[in-house]
Amino acid sequence: MIDVHHHFEPSSKNVDGSTWSIQMAVDQLESNGIDTAIAFAGAIPETNVSEGRTKARRINEWSTQYCVDYPGRFGLFASIPMNDVDGSLEEIAYAFDVLKADGIGLVTNYQDAWLGDPKFDPIFQELNRRKAVVFVHPAQAPCCTPATLSYEKDSISAPWIEFPTNTARTILSLWGSTTTRRLPDIKFIFCHGGGVMPLLLGRIAGFSDWKSVGPDRLKTLFPEGIYSEFSKLYFECAQAYAPEAFDLVRKVAPPTHLLFGTDYSYFPVSHAVEQFKSLALPGDLRRMMAGANAAALLPRWQA
In tens, the pLDDT along 6-23 reads 999 999 998 888 899 999
pTM above 0.85, yes or no: yes
| Rg of the chain (C-alpha set) | 19
What's the rounded Cα separation, in Å, for the pair 137 and 189?
A: 9
pLDDT of residue 15: 82
- Average pLDDT (103-130) is 97
pLDDT (0 to 100) of residue 263: 97
Amino acid at 22: I
Q: Could you tell me the residue ranges of all domains in the chain?
A: 2-301
Are the beta carbons of 40 and 79 closer than 8 angstroms?
yes
CB atoms within 10 A of CB 145: 12
Question: In this model, does residue 47 exceed pLDDT 80?
Answer: no
Query: In which order are the strands placed within the sheet that holds 74-79?
Result: 2-7, 36-40, 74-79, 103-107, 133-137, 187-190, 234-236, 258-259
pLDDT digits (tens, 9 = 90+) for 194-220: 999 999 999 999 988 888 888 998 999
Check pLDDT > 80 for residue 46.
no
CA 267 from chain centre, in angstroms, equals 16
CB neighbourhood size of 72 (10 A): 9
What average pLDDT does the segment 130-150 reach?
94
**Nearest partner of 253 among 194, 206, 295, 211, judged by Cα:** 194
pLDDT at 131 over 90: yes
> Tens digits of per-residue pLDDT, 52-106?
999 999 999 999 999 999 999 999 999 999 999 999 999 999 999 999 999 999 9
pLDDT of 28: 97
> Distance between CA 260 and CA 197 in Å, rounded?
18
| Mean pLDDT rounded to a whole number for the chain | 95
Quickly list DSSP for 50-83.
HHHHHHHHHHHHHHHHHHHHSTTTEEEEEE--TT
CATH of domain 2-301: 3.20.20.140
What is the chain's length?
303
pLDDT digits (tens, 9 = 90+) for 244-259: 999 999 999 999 999 9
Q: Percentage of residues in the chain with pLDDT exceeding 70?
A: 100
Instruction: Provide the pLDDT for residue 210.
Output: 82
